[in-house]
Amino acid sequence: MDKRHWLITAFEPFAGRETNNSKSVLDEIKKLEAENSGSPEWCYTFHYEVLPVEYDGCFDHMSATIKTLSQRGITLEGILSLGEGHEEFKLETQANNLDDVAELSDNRGITRSGKRIFEDLPADAAIPLRFPFQAFSRIRTSNNPGYFICNHLCARMARTCEALPGSPVFGFIHVPKTGSGGMFTPDVCAAVIVNGMKKVEP
């Protein structure tokens, strides 16, 4: 069976924190892939990357990773990015055309307020994501990923993916808090995501 190639990404820590729970969940997905890899029903090869919490840097890093995979002869079926959320899962369905979090800097110290991501679109434009949302029915959908780095990445990837080899789909999941004070542990979060991946039709 030919494997279906997906890129799974998370983010590095930010705002002075030591960890980012999206990376903790990513590490657990790696373990689940290893556990499932011997099964004849497992049809995936996952590729992993941790992105910088930077407005332009996150997209540049993602683009470089995709280019490297392409140079290795790998055509991606899809890309799933994970971001740090709050108390519950959120499966984002669209992006906002605005960087607008004046009170929080990215990891390069850059702050943006009221800056359009795409100048050819209105500031209040919604940019839809192309993704098999129905496979992740256990996760609540959201039409507002905020106005910080996660949203910036969603907006730029939404416009980029159709032009990439294989026209991969792109999805973004805000994962819940994990560890102390969180409702979910990283392995539980990873299991929810992997179970969704198993339902994605080729």
Helix, strand, coil proportions of the chain in percent (round to 5)?
A: 30, 25, 45
Inter-CA distances, 5 with 44, 70, 166, 189, Å? 6, 11, 11, 21
Query: What per-residue confidence (pLDDT) applies to 179?
Result: 65
CA distance 106 to 122: 24
- Provide the percentage of residues in the chain whose pLDDT is more than 90: 89
**pLDDT tens, position by position, 100-121:** 999 999 999 999 999 999 999 9
Can you say whether residue 128 is alpha, beta or left, with left for phi > 0 and alpha for psi between -120 and 50 degrees?
A: beta
Q: Does residue 132 have a pLDDT over 80?
A: yes
pLDDT at 150 over 70: yes
Gap between the Cα atoms of 90 and 198, Å rounded: 19
CA distances from residue 194 to 60, 138, 199 in whole angstroms, order as listed? 26, 12, 9
Predicted confidence (pLDDT) at residue 165 exceeds the cutoff of 80: yes
Banded pLDDT at 178 (limits 50, 70, 90): confident
What value does the mean pLDDT of the chain take? 95
Q: What is the mean pLDDT of residues 77-90?
A: 94
The answer to whether 183 and 176 are in contact (CB under 8 A) is yes
Average pLDDT (156-183) is 88
Per-residue pLDDT at 1 exceeds 70 = no
Q: Which domains does the chain have, with CATH numbers?
A: 4-198 (3.40.630.20)
pTM for the full model? Answer: 0.96
Q: Which residues have a Cβ under 8 Å from the Cβ of 150 and sit 6 or more positions away?
A: 11, 81, 83, 92, 172, 174
pLDDT band at 49 (very low <50, low <70, confident <90, very high): very high
User: Is a pLDDT exceeding 80 seen at residue 33?
Assistant: yes
Using N-to-C axis directions, what is the helix angle for 186-198 and 21-36, rounded to 10°? 50
pLDDT at 46: 98
